[in-house]
Amino acid sequence: MTTLLDAVTADHFDTEVLQQHWIPLAKDDTDTAAVLRERLGVDFATARDRVRETDDFLYIPVVANYKRGETIERETIVFALGNEFLVTLQPSEHFGPFDKAVAKMRRNPALTGSAQGVMFALLWALNETSERVIDYASEALAAVHDEIETAIDGHQRSRVTGVADPRLTLSRMNAAEQIVSRVQESQLRLAHAARHLSPPAGHRELDGLIGILIADIDAVQQHAGIQHDKVRYLQQSVLTWSQVKQHQILRVVTMITAVFLPPTLTATLYTWIPDVQWQYGLPAATLTTVLAAVLPPAYIKKKGWLR
């Protein structure tokens, strides 16, 4: 249970400790942006979507993917890293992923002793959110995989089951592929940002943490690559299954034609036989009709085409 003392301590930490080196800037806060530009020389207009370095700050844009509810959100965060301050250009509304960074800095107050330490915590939090997004996509792909396995198993056991609508399944996989591809792009930018970090004098312990962070970012990138390969495999599986279903439908149509066409043709000829002066015409027509109706289904059943 959160006590009043905990709340006061947390508030003091957020306002007094964090703001020593970190200045969050909302994208629509033009007044604060003007003050920062005048006092510190921070100008995000020069950053745009690529890394840019000035005399006072290093600007590093990072694309963050994070899960909010049942949707995947995507935001661009621009880091302006200086010798003393870190300024982040971020969404105007509360940005949830940075809550984890604040919690991490509460557990390890040494990170708040420099702008680089704060940026490390923020990048760590963004990497954690990317990992959760990949886990979300992985669960969705696992569900699709189970549907495909059920479809194949139902086909082998001659049951009417499987993928109800391959187009819907493909649509779900395309959505998962988009999520995975975006995470892969984000991880590249995160790794780029992490490699720009270097511990300031007197904070050598941060050097090892940065190395671990880069390894963690690469691990999430590899996980995303595995999920991307899985998407490709499942897409091919669904396309193959669709082709099998189409072939099955054509086979059924062919069998129906083979079963009903001969007796229909014989019955049509039967209308002409009474006019022929042949005493065995009626028995012959009847026998031919029976054989035409019985032999094709028996042959199809013997070949196993009904399975």
Enter the tokens of residue 113. Answer: 């002793």
CA distance linking residue 246 with residue 243, whole number of Å: 5
Residue 82 phi/psi, 5-degree rounding, is -115, 180
Residues β-bridged to residue 74:
65
Enter the tokens of residue 123. Answer: 């990048």
Q: Would you say 84 and 90 are in contact if contact means Cβ atoms under 8 Å apart?
A: no
Each residue's pLDDT expressed in tens, for the chain with a length of 307 residues:
343 334 334 555 666 777 789 999 999 999 999 999 999 999 988 776 788 888 889 999 999 999 888 889 899 999 999 989 999 999 988 898 999 999 999 888 889 888 999 999 999 999 999 999 999 888 888 887 777 777 666 555 544 444 456 677 777 788 888 889 999 999 999 999 999 888 776 667 788 899 999 999 999 999 999 988 888 877 777 676 666 666 666 776 776 776 666 667 666 666 655 555 556 666 766 777 677 667 777 776 676 665 5
Nearest 10 degrees: Cα torsion 27, 31, 37, 40: -100
Q: Look at residue 287 in the predicted model and tell me its pLDDT.
A: 75
Enter the tokens of residue 263. Answer: 């007796």
Q: Look at residue 170 in the predicted model and tell me its pLDDT.
A: 74
CATH superfamily of 4-247: Magnesium transport protein CorA, transmembrane region (1.20.58.340)
CA distance linking residue 237 with residue 148, whole number of Å: 8
Tell how far CA 214 is from the center of its chain.
22
Q: Look at residue 278 in the predicted model and tell me its pLDDT.
A: 59
Enter the tokens of residue 10. Answer: 């947390």
Query: Domain-by-domain residue ranges, the chain?
Result: 4-247, 251-303
Of 258, 267, 261, the C-alpha closest to 287 is 267
Q: Look at residue 6 in the predicted model and tell me its pLDDT.
A: 42
The burial of 224, by beta-carbon neighbours within 10 Å (0-12 exposed, 13-18 middle, 19 or more buried), is given as buried
Q: b/e map of 110-139 (b: 16 or more CB within 10 Å)?
A: ebbbbbbbbbbbbbbbbbbbbbebbebbbe
Q: Look at residue 193 in the predicted model and tell me its pLDDT.
A: 92
Residue 106 phi/psi, 5-degree rounding, is -65, -40
Q: Look at residue 160 in the predicted model and tell me its pLDDT.
A: 45
